[in-house]
Amino acid sequence: MENRKTIRKWFWVWSFEKEETWLNEMAMNGWVLEDVGLATYHFVCCEPGEYSVRLEMHPYDEAYISFMQETGAEYIGRYAMWIYFRKKTADGPFDLFSDIDSRIGHLDKIGKMLAAVGGANLLIGFVNSFSPSRFGWANLLCATLLMYALGRIHGKKEALEKERLLHE
């Protein structure tokens, strides 16, 4: 049996929880994430359920990676703004967000990035629509997709804010 495999799979930014769930299901089936790229996941064979995998949008930060390693988490890698960690399940629970406020803060970070990139694409698309360039539509299409993603993230954030009110 091969002890490594690569799977190509696409996740939208608003479904990062589904990505994390899938990565943990793979670990439960004996395949833990070893490296990550654009819609590409590299796995290595492990004991089923040996690891938990977490991901978050976080800028590259050596101090943060060192802090996570001090908690027993292993840095797997990153793609774009997403950072991936794994931790042995025998070492106890592994959560990157300790409460609702930290989860809301994470969604805020994602939303700000989507708004900035979407706004830039909207502006570029608008400017290009008045120039001889025939590719302004591509930026407008990209801006539309990014604004849709922003709406999905905002909906998740609102749901968490309502949940927070119920617990207060």
% of the chain surpassing 90 pLDDT? 86
- Give CA angle at 78 (144, 31), nearest 5°: 110
Q: Are residues 68 and 44 in the same domain?
A: yes
Q: Are residues 60 and 17 in the same domain?
A: yes
Question: pLDDT tens digit string along 133-152?
Answer: 777 889 999 999 999 999 99
- Give CA angle at 117 (36, 135), nearest 5°: 100
- The band of 2, judged by pLDDT with boundaries at 50, 70 and 90, is confident
Q: Are residues 117 and 76 in the same domain?
A: no
> Which pLDDT score is estimated for 60?
87
Q: Are residues 84 and 113 in the same domain?
A: no
Q: Are residues 10 and 87 in the same domain?
A: yes
> What's the rounded Cα separation, in Å, for the pair 120 and 122?
5
The dihedral of CA 130, 131, 133, 138: what is its sign?
negative
Q: Are residues 87 and 114 in the same domain?
A: no
User: Residue 145's domain spans which residues?
Assistant: 100-167
pTM for the predicted model, two decimal places: 0.89
By 3-state DSSP, what share of the chain in percent is helix, strand and coil, each rounded to 5? 55, 25, 25
Last-in-domain residue among 91, 121, 140: 91
Q: Are residues 74 and 120 in the same domain?
A: no
Q: How many domains does the chain have?
A: 2
Residues linked to residue 105 through DSSP beta bridges, in sequence order: none
